[in-house]
Amino acid sequence: MQMSHKAGFVNIIGNPNVGKSTLMNAFVGERLSIITSKAQTTRHRILGIVNGEDFQIVLSDTPGIIKPAYEMQESMMNFVKSAFEDADILVYMVEIGEQNLKDEDFFKKIFYAKIPVLLLLNKIDNSNQEQLEEQVAFWKEKVPNAEIFPISALQNFNVPEVFERIIQLLPESPAYYPKDQLTDKPERFFVNETIREKILLNYAKEIPYAVEIVTEEFHETDTIIRIRSVIMVERDTQKGIIIGHKGAALKKVGTDARVDLEKFFGKQIHIELYVKVNKNWRSNANMLKRFGYNQ
């Protein structure tokens, strides 16, 4: 008898910085989404695919929900809206102490969702039993249609249980992607994201948010990958800060990125980084399209 196969789209939404990317990476087992302590790290919808003998989970990590302040953020919120449209299961993540969504309209969509909703109460390692019980009661009342799971994505607490529940809830369906595929994103996307993560970690203030990465060359042989990437900034002053004294800051970004990329691709990496000024790219529709924000 043919064993039935389940497959579906599981979309993860929530405010910035609640641990969506950490959860997705725990599920997929690879660092697909960049994880830093700065808000708004994820700018795109990133698909991660988890395959089993009789199931395929297509996970989508979305940007944190914000009130958009400029065009790039509008585009980021469109990714979140589309997450409601094609989900089979919705995972809504909140963290201990959080009481509301940044956008009430999204909240209504969760409330009236016709699909299963799993509400994950993350970072419970930062709370005590009393606070946890209060929070569970609060969210039960606020989102009565959701199943609530207290978790710690970072410590992997209760994450396997959530994963099992997702498999139970998946609809019967053939696989949507080849079974050996991890993501729908090309290699250059992960190069860009890794470099961007290093910039988020190494620079303060607005610098990381004014930056976009374009990988212009990606040449792979059996033993080595040669990469040439451009770091795009909005102003000359930002270019100077990225490069640093005698190029030291830029060199550190390149070294840190190379270490991670060698782990990710399992090969030796040679990476060259350049910095270019592209004035006000975040408000330029053509530029946003080029960087994959406007679908």
> Phi/psi at 29 (nearest 5 deg)?
85, 5
Annotated binding site for GTP: 14-21, 61-65, 122-125
Answer for the pair 208, 196: CB distance below 8 angstroms, yes or no. Answer: yes
C-alpha–C-alpha distance, residues 61 and 233, integer Å: 25
Give every CB contact of residue 290 below 8 A, 6+ residues apart in sequence: none
Q: Is the dihedral of CA 125, 129, 134, 138 positive or negative?
A: positive
Which residues contribute to the annotated binding site?
Answer: 14-21, 61-65, 122-125
d(CA 122, CA 287): 35
Pair type for strands 6-14 and 89-95? parallel
**Which strand ranges, in their side-by-side order, compose the sheet holding 268-277?**
212-220, 224-233, 268-277
